[in-house]
Every structure is written in C-alpha cells, then in structure tokens.
Structure 1
Amino acid sequence: MIVAQPSAITIREAEEADKEAVLRVVLEAYQQYEQKLPEQSWEQYKESIRLSVREGNPKARLIAELDGEIIGSVQLFLSSEAAYGRADLHIDSPIIRFLSVSPQARGKGVATLLIKESARRSLELGASLLYLHTSDMMESAVKLYERLGFERAQDKEFYSGNTLVKSYKLQLLDHPLLKQVL
C-alpha cells in the first residue's frame, strides 16, 4: 500500500510574477482587523499594504508555498529607516514586516517557518537581533512571537495616531528556534 506523503511547505524568495498573489494573501490575512479599526484607518492601512507589496524595497520578500499556491509572506528590512523611514528608532538590525498567512493555511506552522527563514537570513547578514512591530489588536500574533522567544523592546516603540506600536526583538545567537535551521 502506498501512503501519500503530506505536502511540504516551501519558503522561497518572491519573484515579480508573485506580487499579485502575495498582495491577495496579505490583504486576506489582515482583513480580520477591518472591524477593529475606524474606516479611514482601515483604508489607509490597506493602502500601506498595497504600496509595501508593489513598491517597497525590502532586503528580502519571502513567500511560503504549499502545492504551488502562495499561502504566506513576510518582508525583511535592514533597519528602521528602511522599514518605516524612521531612523529615530535607531534599529540597525533586520526587521520583519507584514508577516501574513492565508486564513485557510493557519495552524500549519507557516508563520514560524517564515520567521525562522528571516532569522536565518539575518544571521547570515551578521545580525544578532531580529525586530518586529505590532499592536494589541494582533493578539494571536503577539502570542506567537512571545512563544518563539521574542521579547519586548520598549525603547523602540512609537505611536501611530492613538495606537501604541509595540516593538519586539529576538536574540538570534544560540537561540533554540534557530538550531534546527542552521
């Protein structure tokens, strides 16, 4: 009897031809926050997502694929200036942005794989820290980050309107999360 092996999730660099599929996945992933934001804020957030996917300039755009379908993505920037135009945050280490997993693919470890690959690439660049920013409305994401070992970096936080944009950092050197990927 032949038993079918489960399909493997692969992580790779996004190509130009992937942009529309990536945009669809990111918008689907972030759609859950529409009801938590005022309409104008939601429209501005969607526009920032579109601009970041279509025109942003990250060091890497990573995607997760399953059976040839894009199910997740993340962007890796080299600094707070590159990520947000905010040199004043004084983050000269990689930062991940717009970590996204299609709602249909959640619970399969996609976000963890994208974070691991971002961390691996950050180490290759000589970094010892990986940062990200999030807010309280992204409760499940915060739980994931903390479970993976990210710690608050309150000195790198800022406000966007009335929303506190929290910063988290991951110590990359000798981190258990990375032992399996190096």
Structure 2
Amino acid sequence: MENPPIVHIRDAVEEERETIADMMVEAYQQYADVLPVEAWNAYRDSIRQSAFSSLPYARIVAELNGTIVGTVQLYLSSETAYGKPEMGIHSPIIRLLAVSPAARGLGIAKLLIQEAAQRSIELGATTLNLHTSDMMADAVRLYEKLGFQRDYPTDTTNGLTLVKGYRLDLPGSALLTRAIS
C-alpha cells in the first residue's frame, strides 16, 4: 500500500504571494463559466488582489512536494474580512479557501480549515466563521461535513447573490477532536 502524500501546513511568506494568487485563480477558475464575464473578471481580480493585501491576520498555505497546492486566509473580524463592521462578527473568519485542482481529494481543504480553527482557539475565539454562496455547492457540503452550521444573522448579499454565513463552534468541535474522513 502506498504511503499518503505528506502535506505541510505553514504560513505563507512574502515572496510567495504571486504563486498564491495564481493558484487561487486556478482553483476558482471553475466559476468562470457560471458567472457572467464581467462578474468573473471582477471576482478574479479581487481574488488576485487578496494575495497582496495586508488585511488577513494569517495567510496559511498547504505545500506538497515543495509546491503550494492550497491556501486559506484568516481574518479577525467582519471589518477586516469584508470591510463590514456592521455585520458584527468579532471572531475569526476564513476566506478564499483554495485547493489546486490537481491536488483535490487529498484532504488539503480540511487540513487548512483545521489549522485556521486551531489558530482561532489560540486567539481565544469560540467560533470560526465563513461566507459562501450556493454556486459553491461542493464547498458547502465540505463545510457542513466538517461541522459548520448556518449562521443566518450573518448572511449578506453581493449584488443579487445571497452570501450565506456559516459558523463553527470551536469548543469540542469534532473537526479538532476526531478524524473526519
């Protein structure tokens, strides 16, 4: 039986931002055919720009065989994550979880979320939040499998799109206490 690949989870370094931006765009490219061209171009540009932003508390990457194959950004509040203090989220939020299409199915997204959750606990947080839309059905299934629950009061909109809030209660979370396959 072949050994599973070893994935290293670590903080990104400054020199990797262009690589991270390229990998994130590659990961999100699947939505280019779903969104209108102008919307996709704006989304793609915002994804790229996020790799160079100073707003995330942490930019976490997954590395496999010396190549960055995944990333997630950890923010400390809705103000830093979205520029929306009125959302009232004063606990960590993950954004732009991305796994290279070539590395999907290896559990990398779960490892990145686990790392973000562990760091949130170390910050004294009791919840980890995220936002997504129905367009990202595979991601929604993953989040729900990992224990995230809908957090309706944090729903927002992006144009006509409902952006759904999700929350993971960290104390005793199965994500951190047992293996989830």
Q: Which residue of 2 aligns with 1:174?
A: 172
Whole-Å Cα distance in 2 between the matches of residues 53 and 69 of structure 1? 17
Q: What's the counterpart of residue 112 of structure 1?
A: 110
Counterpart in the other structure of 1:10 = 8
Q: CA RMSD in A?
A: 1.3
In structure 1, distance between residues paired with 2:24 and 2:118: 22
Shift, 1:161, TM fit? 0.4
Paired residues for 1:1-182 under 5 Å: 5-179=3-177
Equivalent residues, number:
179
Q: 1:167, 1:119 → 2: CA distance?
A: 16
Q: Which runs of 5+ in 2 are unaligned?
A: none
Contact 2:95 2:130 in 1 (8 A): yes
Give SS of 1:36's match: coil
Q: Please give the per-residue CA displacement for 1:132-171, whole angstroms capped at 9, x wherever unaligned.
A: 0000000000000000000000100111100000010000
SS at match of 1:35: coil
> Structure 1, unaligned stretches of length 5 or more?
none
**How does the TM-score come out when normalised to structure 1?**
0.95
Instruction: Tell me how far apart the structure 1 counterparts of residues 99 and 155 of structure 2 sit (CA, whole Å).
Output: 24
Q: Specify whether residues 108 and 4 from structure 1 end up closer, same or farther in structure 2 by C-alpha distance, changes over 3 A only.
A: closer
Q: Is 2:117–2:128's contact at 8 Å kept on the other side of the alignment?
A: yes
AA aligned opposite 1:115? I
User: What stretches of structure 1 move > 6 A for 4+ residues in a row?
Assistant: none
Q: TM-score, normalised by structure 2?
A: 0.95
Question: What secondary structure, in the 3-state scheme, does the structure 2 residue paired with 1:74 have?
Answer: strand
Is the 2:94–2:116 Cα contact (8 Å) retained in structure 1?
yes
Say which SS state the counterpart of residue 23 (structure 1) adopts.
helix
Find the aligned partners of 1:56 and 1:164 in 2 and give their Cα distance.
27
Conserved 8 A contact 2:22-2:48: no
How far did residue 5 of structure 1 move?
Answer: 4.2
Q: Partner amino acid for 2:163? A: V
Q: In the alignment, residue 17 of structure 1 is paired with which amino acid?
A: E
